């Protein structure tokens, strides 16, 4: 990773979670292992030499609850259930084996990218409806859920994909709001870095990716740090419902 890294902001109005993570907080106060399931596609599963966010999240959470907020005998495992080229339509079929059986304290569901990238294969309105179905299933079983929307990268802005990306981001936000689950706004955060902090797409993107779709190791690290801090804040005993408009 280059030493000449951009200076970025992580605005609370973008990254703060709307709802406290009560189930995760209870698990952290317990004695057993704390399981988090990361469901998603390739930016969850990982690609090439870029370390994906679930492994980084696990490392950062373990460091925090070991050094900054010690929790003796607590082990945090982030189970990577990402599978490349999938979308909500496909992932619903994996809920039983890849989420329910593990009974996690938190489900992180990264969605929406392939609905736009593979718009010849998916219909964003159908994907959005399946996200709603998935959220209903997860909520019915009592799981806490954190949605992650698409990455702000070159391929998501080419041709007709820019308008489709905006629509997908809005549909995910609406689904999260209606289901009263948390949303981590990756799209808005990376867009802020690009537009407000002058971070180039060459820095945001994995330059070895011919599709110009996947994040660089640096931007994945920064998104993972922002996500980690958002989760820690929402799982703190003082966490309350956010009073800002999470858009």
Q: In CATH, what number is assigned to the domain containing residue 52? A: 3.40.50.1110
Looking at the chain, the number of H-run helices and the number of E-run strands are: 12, 5
pLDDT at 240: 72
Three-class SS string for 95-143? HHHHCHHHCCCEEEEECCHHHHHCCCCCCHHHHHHHHHHHHHHHHHCCC
pLDDT at 142 over 70: yes
pLDDT at 246 over 50: no
Does a structural domain hold residue 39? yes
pLDDT digits (tens, 9 = 90+) for 67-82: 999 998 899 999 999 9
Mean pLDDT score, 206-221: 94
Q: How many CB atoms within 10 Å of residue 108?
A: 25
pLDDT at 48: 85
Which of 164, 178, 169, 167 lies closest to 134 in space, CA to CA?
Answer: 178
pLDDT at 49: 86
Does a structural domain hold residue 245? no
Residue 67 DSSP label: I
Q: How many CB atoms within 10 Å of residue 240?
A: 9
- Quote the number of domains for the chain: 1
Where does the pLDDT of residue 3 fall: very low under 50, low under 70, confident under 90, or very high at 90 and above?
low
pLDDT at 242 over 70: no
pLDDT digits (tens, 9 = 90+) for 220-237: 999 999 999 999 999 998
pLDDT at 91: 98
Does a structural domain hold residue 9? no
Beta-bridged to residue 39, according to DSSP, are 81, 109
pLDDT at 168: 98
pTM for this structure? 0.94
CA distances, 176 to each of 2, 77, 128, 145, 172 (Å): 36, 25, 10, 9, 6
pLDDT at 149 over 60: yes
pLDDT at 208 over 70: yes
pLDDT at 247 over 70: no
Which of 46, 184, 41, 178 lies closest to 106 in space, CA to CA?
Answer: 184
Look up the domain containing 182 and give its range. 14-234
Mean pLDDT score, 195-207: 95
pLDDT digits (tens, 9 = 90+) for 152-186: 999 999 888 999 999 999 999 999 999 999 999 99
Does a structural domain hold residue 120? yes
Does a structural domain hold residue 142? yes
Mean pLDDT score, 183-197: 98
62 by Cβ neighbours in 10 Å (0-12 / 13-18 / 19+) ranks as middle
Tokens standing for residue 142: 């009592």
Quick one: CA torsion of 112, 117, 121, 127, rounded to 10 degrees? 10
Residue 205 DSSP label: B
Does a structural domain hold residue 21? yes
pLDDT at 244: 41
């Amino acid at each position: 990773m280059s030493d000449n890294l951009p200076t970025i902001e992580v605005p609370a109005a973008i990254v703060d979670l709307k709802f406290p993570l009560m189930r995760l907080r209870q698990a952290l106060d317990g004695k057993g292992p704390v399981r988090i399931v990361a469901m998603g596609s390739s930016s969850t599963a990982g690609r090439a030499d870029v370390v994906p966010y679930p492994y980084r999240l696990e490392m950062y959470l373990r460091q925090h609850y070991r050094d900054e907020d010690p929790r003796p005998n607590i082990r945090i495992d982030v189970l990577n259930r990402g599978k490349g080229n999938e979308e909500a339509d496909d992932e619903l079929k994996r809920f039983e084996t890849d989420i329910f059986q593990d009974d996690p304290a938190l489900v992180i569901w990264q969605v929406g990218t392939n609905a736009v990238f593979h718009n010849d294969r998916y219909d964003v309105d159908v994907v959005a409806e399946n996200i709603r179905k998935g959220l209903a299933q997860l909520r019915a079983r009592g799981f806490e859920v954190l949605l992650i929307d698409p990455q702000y990268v070159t391929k998501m802005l080419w041709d007709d994909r820019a308008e489709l990306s905006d629509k997908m981001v809005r549909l995910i936000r609406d689904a999260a709001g209606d289901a009263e689950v948390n949303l981590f706004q990756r799209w808005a955060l990376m867009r802020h870095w690009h537009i407000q902090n002058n971070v180039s797409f060459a820095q945001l993107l994995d330059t070895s990716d011919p599709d110009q779709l996947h994040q660089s190791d640096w931007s994945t690290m920064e998104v993972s740090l922002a996500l980690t801090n958002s989760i820690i804040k929402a799982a703190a005993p003082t966490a309350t419902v956010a009073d800002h408009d999470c858009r």
